[in-house]
Amino acid sequence: MIWSIAHAINDGYPTLYLALLPVLMVRWHFGVAQAGLLAGFLTLTTQAMQPLWGWWADRLGGPWFIVGGLVAGSVGNALGLAWAPSYAVFALALMLAGLGNAAFHPHMAALVTQTDSTDKGRKMSGWMVSGMIGHALAPLVAVAMWQWEGKWGLTAMAIPGVLAAGILYQSARKLKRPAATVKPHAREALRNAWNRGRAFFLMIVLRNLGTASLLTLLPIFWTHRGGALSQTGLLLSIVYAAGMIGNLMGGRQSDRWGPRPILVISLLGAAGAALGWPLISGTKDIFWFAVAVWGFMINGAGAVLLVYGQSLFPGRAGMASGLTLGLGNTIGGFGAWVMGRLAESGGLSWAVIAAALCLAASILPAIWLAV
């Protein structure tokens, strides 16, 4: 239970700033492109570092990465959001806190599928849902704490992470270092994975480019269309709440049908839902429904991606989890900056459409997957 709670708390911190983006853009006078660039800066450490942490966890065992990562991520994100005096300082705080998030994830994901169970999709989806609970709650709490107590309210948001890390420490002390197994050399593992998984890596790059861009654009798009700031947190929470259901269903069905059908259906549905945002944004109820459908569909592939990525790296589950979580998300994060530039030059609607088309483009390599 403590592992699930810690995962939920950890995963909430990197998403705190999304719900408050309209406030931050006014406070530090930056535009949509720089808002997208924040996602890129964040992924440099939260995602790009994950393969390194995963490789290290495979060699040494990683319980201490989990505990230390949770402390760094909670303190860095909360204090940076509350007290950073400028855009540049906040970006640096995001990156430093991201190191903690990167240390936390790969070993946790590897622990989930250590057994020889045949229902790895179901287990992985359950683990990912615990993190998505944090994603769903964090935007609501961030907006509420900001409106209640301003900077001091945001500062207090570091407390749950520190407390959870202290409890987790007691549990982590009891974990034994994993028994040594015969593993291919890292360079050989990468070469073999690349030969088998080119289509897979192309797919996650395109998928996460569209996903990171749409998550960044959503609160900005909503407020620019006349929506209230107090509703941005709820809007993001709906994305993640619907995503929990999609993740559970996708993980379970992948054990039965295999990864390819789940991925294709997920990407097709997500692209279609996002393409409708600019057309129906004037009708609140329908727009919110479309956002929920997008969250459900895009997250239906989450567990499938991790399990498939681990299958490409036999004996190196930590490295596989790091690459699967990290590679596509890093490129996707900087893709959000590109979409931000497009939004500034051509309008928010065109940026949303372009991001949705990236999701549509990822369907082709999903069809090519070797299964």
Q: Tell me, what CATH number does 357's domain have? A: 1.20.1250.20
Given its phi and psi angles, is residue 50 left (phi above 0), alpha (psi -120 to 50 degrees) or beta?
A: alpha
Distance between CA atoms of residues 204 and 206, nearest Å: 6
- Let me know: does 148 contact 256? Beta carbons within 8 Å: no
pLDDT at 214: 94
CB 25 within 8 A of CB 31: yes
* Cα separations in angstroms, 106 against 12, 24, 47, 294, 325: 17, 31, 10, 26, 8
pTM recorded for the entire structure: 0.81
Q: With contact defined as beta carbons under 8 Å apart, do 118 and 126 qualify?
A: no
Residue count (the chain): 371
Q: Which amino acid is at 118?
A: T
Low-confidence ranges of the chain (pLDDT < 70): 1, 50-63, 106-127, 171-197, 306, 309-328, 370-371
- Count of structural domains within the chain: 1
Could you tell me the residue range of the domain that residue 95 belongs to? 2-368
At which residue do the structure tokens 């001091």 appear? 152
pLDDT of residue 82: 95
pLDDT computed for residue 244 by the predictor: 87
CB 336 within 8 A of CB 40: yes
* The pLDDT of residue 193: 52
What is residue 47's predicted lDDT score, i.e. its pLDDT? 73
Measured CA to CA, the distance from residue 329 to residue 43 in angstroms comes to: 6
Determine contact, residues 185/16, Cβ cutoff 8 Å. Answer: no
Return the closest-CA partner of residue 46 out of 312, 278, 325, 280.
325
Rg, Å, the chain Cα set: 19
Q: Give me the amino acid identity at 29.
A: H
| Helix extents (H) in 156-231 | 159-172, 186-224
Q: How many CA atoms lie within 13 A of 362 on its CB side?
A: 34
Q: What pLDDT score does 182 carry?
A: 44
- In three-state secondary structure terms, 315 is coil
